Amino acid sequence: MKFFVDTADIDDIRDLAATGLLDGVTTNPSLVAKSGRKFIPLIEEICEIVSGPVSAEVAATDYETMRKEAEILRKIADNIAVKVPLTPAGLKVCKELSDGGTMVNVTLCFSPAQAILAAKAGATFVSPFVGRLDDISEDGLGLISDICRIYENYPSFDTEVLVASVRNPLHIVESAKMGAHVATCPPSVIRQLYNHPLTTQGLETFVEDWKKTGQSIL
């Protein structure tokens, strides 16, 4: 499974990229607004830090404006994935960009039917939102399972399942069991993956026992 970080915070991106475990970045208008940065320069900087896909989202909702915005975004860097909403206009833009060799991330997917449309439009990634479905008492992970099963039935579908709205490590692990290709997570959730009380306890024991030997490796 590939890990993308879902943030527009440059410091977090630099820190996680330095681990060598980060495969890409996803942003959205809300994250950009939270950063307080100008959009285009921010995306340019992210693309310099991360070599993997960087999702930059269009702001328009109508086809003509969305297409013009997508033309600007796709020229920022070779690793840009233009992010479009799962709407008729968004999928039309997705088809045109995909046919032209541009990566596209189709976002705001909440049903298997929508995921089928994204794949048929040639999306590089489809982003089903797990946490937001859980918030309204629907089965977010069930959606991931359904999409993965459907895509497996059709080898011609090249679209990768990019699990979004991830709230905790369990979302990541369960999605990985189902065969999802990517999980995009807030920095805090990625860092939670390291944690286990037995790891902490075991390390403390090793450190104390090593001190007792009076030795030094250096």
Nearest to 21 by CA among 185, 161, 153: 185
Tokens found for residue 69: 């915005």
Of 2, 83, 95, 120, which is the active-site residue? 83
- Is 83 catalytic? The answer is yes
Place of tokens 């309204």: 136
DSSP state, residue 52: S
Distance of CA 12 to the CA centre of its chain: 15
What SS3 state is found at 160? Answer: strand
Beta strands in the chain (DSSP E): 2-6, 24-26, 54-57, 80-85, 103-109, 125-128, 160-163, 182-185
What SS3 state is found at 123? Answer: coil
Q: Which residues are catalytic?
A: 83
